[in-house]
Structure 1
Amino acid sequence: MIRLAEPSASDLAIGARPLLVVDVDEVVLQFVAPFKAFLLANGHELNLETFSLNGNVKSLEDGRRVENAEVKALISAFYDSQEDWQEPFSAARPTLEGLTEIADVLLLTAMPPRHREKRRRLLARHGFDFPLIASEAPKGEVLRDLCETAPPDLIFVDDMLYNCRSVSQCLPEALTINLLINDDYRALAPKTTPPSLVATGWDHADTIIRRHIAENG
């Protein structure tokens, strides 16, 4: 069983079961669609021409491309109001609930810790009652520190390939799954390369995870 007393990796108690670590934005909660809607409501537009928010946000007032610092501020403002905008992918909760039969689940979200409480409330409202870490540190380093004393069979799911690579570099035995649910988003994403595996939806990810645990149990 995985237990969490406080929102810090040091407060997690890791057991002997497989540990499934799951990103939140665009994996559990929809991000791209609600962020687009948020921007439109605040005088901006997101048109993804590349697999990045930076360089793809424009001001509706004058058509200029927004500088990276302003994009960061808009993302922060979105997270401040995330409870009004974000909804989960429909298959995320039933899939994760089913996987709790064979693994412990931990949510690892890449955001400043000050946004964690709002994110926790939002997830709880939709039935995601799993421990949550919010950190801006490289995810591989977070999980390496977490699993330092008793590394479990670790499965990591994220939409960003660089996060999968970070985990693979720090914990080479981990299974890393690059989950890209949105077809348009996937088309722009860097090609998933070994040792990571690509999953095109939660059903696909569920099959990969269950097969991995069965083969390593």
Structure 2
Amino acid sequence: MKPLLITDCDEVLLHMVRHFGTWLGEEHAIAFDMAGGDFATSMTRADGTVLDRAEMWSYLDGFFPGQMARQTLVPHAREALAALATQADIVVLTNLQDHCRTHRIDQLAEHGIVHRVECNQGGKGPPVARLLAEYDPSVAVFVDDLAVHHQSVADTAPQVYRLHMVSEPDLAIHVPPAPAAHARIDDWVEAQAWIEARFATGRPAQA
């Protein structure tokens, strides 16, 4: 049995928030504040009105897939995944609509990252559990930028090691460590070493 790495994409492998904010300003005259915490409270029009949650989702749907070419690679992500792939299976679990899957696969390939991609909507605990049943790994690690997904995985698959990563520095300073994660690391060089150490134990996380 091999280890399994299940990793998010946006703000883990690819920068998204800064480019989303730039697009909102350029194309829609909407200001995006990374200190806002929640996307739904971070987007304001020129008259100062805050967009509601439904409007926020409509703009996110507008960014994906049409504006994905704006996204840039997180430093050291490609190299870390290449090294980890020598000993583990890797799945990119991304919360996008299913019609974006091929776009995400092609986008990652353009950055030299070629691994299985699965799209998901909602909490990531259930799809992580399904991947565990499929791969039956010796040990599994989950990487994501959102605390809600760490809690979902902790509830559904507590044997998975959970690493909280927010790769955008201007956003990371406003995001506290996820309570349900085992560690918070925002840099792939250090994260690679942490993941390799979890793989080396050959044992699942303690519930």
TM-score between both structures, scaled by the size of structure 1: 0.86
Task: In structure 2, give the amino acid aligned to 1:58.
Answer: T
1:105 counterpart = 2:90:
yes
Q: C-alpha deviations, 1:124-180, integer Å up to 9, x for none?
A: 111111000011032110111222366311110001111112112111111000012
Name the residue aligned to 1:45: 31
Which runs of structure 2 are paired with 1:126-205 in the superposition (5 Å)?
126-148=111-133, 151-152=136-137, 153-193=139-179, 195-205=181-191
Does the 8 Å contact 1:82/1:118 carry over to 2?
A: no
Q: From the superposition, tell whether residues 154 and 125 of structure 1 become closer, same or farther in structure 2 (CA, over 3 Å).
A: same
Identical positions, percent: 24
Name the residue aligned to 2:54: 69
- Structure 1 residue corresponding to 2:109, chosen from 124, 131, 141: 124
1:84 counterpart = 2:69:
yes
Q: How many residues align?
A: 201
Task: In structure 1, give the amino acid aligned to 2:96.
Answer: M
| d(CA) in 1 for partners of 2:96, 2:135 | 26
Aligned-pair CA distance for 1:195: 4.8
SS of residue paired to 1:49? helix
Does the 8 Å contact 1:164/1:196 carry over to 2?
A: no
| d(CA) in 2 for partners of 1:143, 1:48 | 28
| d(CA) in 1 for partners of 2:7, 2:143 | 5
Does the 8 Å contact 2:96/2:121 carry over to 1?
A: yes
1:34 counterpart = 2:12:
no
Aligned-pair CA distance for 1:117: 1.6
Which range moved further: 203-212 or 43-52?
43-52
Task: In structure 2, give the amino acid aligned to 1:46.
Answer: F
| d(CA) in 2 for partners of 1:180, 1:83 | 19
Does the 8 Å contact 2:8/2:145 carry over to 1?
A: yes
SS of residue paired to 2:57? helix
Does the 8 Å contact 1:82/1:119 carry over to 2?
A: no
Structure 2, unpaired ranges of 5+: none
1:55 counterpart = 2:41:
yes
